[in-house]
Chains A and B, each alone.
Chain A
Amino acid sequence: MEYTWDFTSVWRNWEVLLQGVGVTIVLSLASISIGLLLSFPIAFLRKSKLKFVAWLSLAFIEVFRDLPVLVVLVWLFYCLPILLGNNVRLTPFAVAVMGLALNFTALQAEIFRAGLEAIPLGQLEIARTLGFSRYQIARYIVIPQALWRTLAPTLGQAVNTLKLTSLASFIAVDEVFHVTTFLIQETYRPLEFYTILAVLYLLTIMPLSFAIQMVERRLEMRFGQD
């Protein structure tokens, strides 16, 4: 059987598709930014001397690391409005940011924790004998070093979140996957649209992948073994 590829309806809806890509990128950036801000403190709390605090942050990490993102999204979408009452209105986009950020935070907190634990104690001991304050040690040694050491896996995690944004289509966020599904229903051209969808994801993610490889090489110069 011969199939005649016809991309005319794709070109005709080009702008709508690009808008979808825009939503995908904004959704990723918002979730990743919030996740980065939350994950560092949670990684610290995970090592807290207060048992309860450490346990709470561990529980958070465990729950949102284990739950499939799709389950989190639909749960937040359907259950949260009921729990919050009628006067709180959440847009699908807001719910998607929340769900993706929760997942990113949980995974990223573990990455940061590993980065913090990878710093040899001798480096902190030296700083202490020199009389650096706790704040100075955190500001000049622990935090920058943990960030450097975890840069590559952090970028990997960011790419992962970008891929997961497609799940937001289940709660009707107008990101590129959802837009594509909608256009297919309109035009009956699934093969063309799914092909273009794949190309669009590749074009968005590939530059990031190259950036990661460059970062990894630079990190190798700093922290790699000979």
Chain B
Amino acid sequence: MDRIKHAIQIRSVTKRFGERVLFENLTFDADVGQLLVLTGPSGSGKTTLLRIIAGLIPFDGKIEVCGRPVIAGTPCPDLVLIPQQPSLWEHLSALDNIALVRHLLFKESKSEARQKASGYLEILDLMQAADRFPRRLSGGEQQRVGLARGLATERPIFLLDEITANIDRDRKEIVGRVIARLHEEGKTVVLVTHDPVIVKLLKSNPYCLEPDGLHARGIIENEDAKNDRQQR
């Protein structure tokens, strides 16, 4: 049997906004179970790259997620994107934001879904926020609810965009532990961040997405190779 080795396979992907080339001929893989940390200066296209992988915006080139080609406009059932702006559903409490995901994705009853949801809130130290509405949560709390909502999908691939941007020092450790545990469970995680705290917590080598697409590919591949050598 062919086991899929690459969770995400990116081949010669180019993204342009009008005249401007964000990256060109980008090629790299994220293996199943890999924790891939991406950094890069602001505006280098990290968010755009995640949105491309999630099937939200068009691109040139070829991407496969779990062996299936990514087509813009068709969301992939194997991955979950947790964006920089948590975009919680504002008419629902923190708890119900997560319960709705359980209810619709797993066909759980209302009470079952809420029970599961409170479990995810607990993991992220959010029990006191359960009944509050998104507008009544701090930026950091919103981000953690967004992460909890993502965890609730139980999907094999996580794309996390600046997940600790508004989170205070103590809670960063909680988020770090959650990500480490996803990694231990064998999930594939692509973490976009320029937060040194979280990078250190995860003890991972970040790869750099450079504004120059050709460079970016080189660096990612070189770093990849270097990493492989270190592991051997």
Tell me the dominant secondary structure on chain B's binding face: loop
A-side contacts of B104, CB under 8 Å: 130, 132, 136, 140
The answer to whether the Cβ of B207 comes within 8 Å of any Cβ in the partner chain is: no
The answer to whether the Cβ of B135 comes within 8 Å of any Cβ in the partner chain is: yes
User: Which residue from chain A places its CB closest to the CB of B82 in the assembled complex?
Assistant: A126
Report Cα–Cα, A224/B101, bound state, in Å.
Answer: 25
B-side contacts of A148, CB under 8 Å: 91
A-side contacts of B81, CB under 8 Å: 126, 129
Complex contact A122–B133 (CB within 8 A): no
B-side contacts of A224, CB under 8 Å: 135
**Chain B 57-81 against A: per-residue CB contact (8 Å), 1 yes, 0 no?**
0000000000000000001010011
Kindly identify, within residues 161 to 212 of chain A, every residue whose CB is under 8 Å from any CB belonging to chain B. none
Query: Quick one: given A130-B105, A140-B104, A223-B135, are A123 and B75 in contact (CB under 8 Å)?
Result: no
A-side contacts of B89, CB under 8 Å: 123, 127, 141, 145
Complex contact A131–B85 (CB within 8 A): no
The answer to whether the Cβ of A222 comes within 8 Å of any Cβ in the partner chain is: yes
A-side contacts of B153, CB under 8 Å: 130
Please, how many residues of chain A have a CB less than 8 angstroms from a CB on the other chain?
Answer: 25
Complex contact B75–A129 (CB within 8 A): yes
Complex contact A222–B77 (CB within 8 A): no
Closest chain B CB from A67 CB (angstroms): 34
The answer to whether the Cβ of A225 comes within 8 Å of any Cβ in the partner chain is: yes
The answer to whether the Cβ of B167 comes within 8 Å of any Cβ in the partner chain is: no
Report Cα–Cα, A113/B90, bound state, in Å.
Answer: 18
Query: Quick one: given A122-B83, A122-B85, are A221 and B90 in contact (CB under 8 Å)?
Result: no
**Chain B 171-207 against A: per-residue CB contact (8 Å), 1 yes, 0 no?**
0000000000000000000000000000000000000
A selection of 29 A-B contacts at a CB cut-off of 8 Å is A120-B90, A122-B85, A122-B87, A123-B87, A123-B88, A123-B90, A125-B56, A126-B81, A126-B83, A126-B87, A129-B55, A129-B80, A129-B81, A130-B75, A130-B80, A130-B101, A130-B104, A130-B105, A131-B75, A136-B104, A141-B89, A144-B91, A145-B89, A149-B91, A221-B133, A221-B136, A222-B90, A222-B135, A223-B90
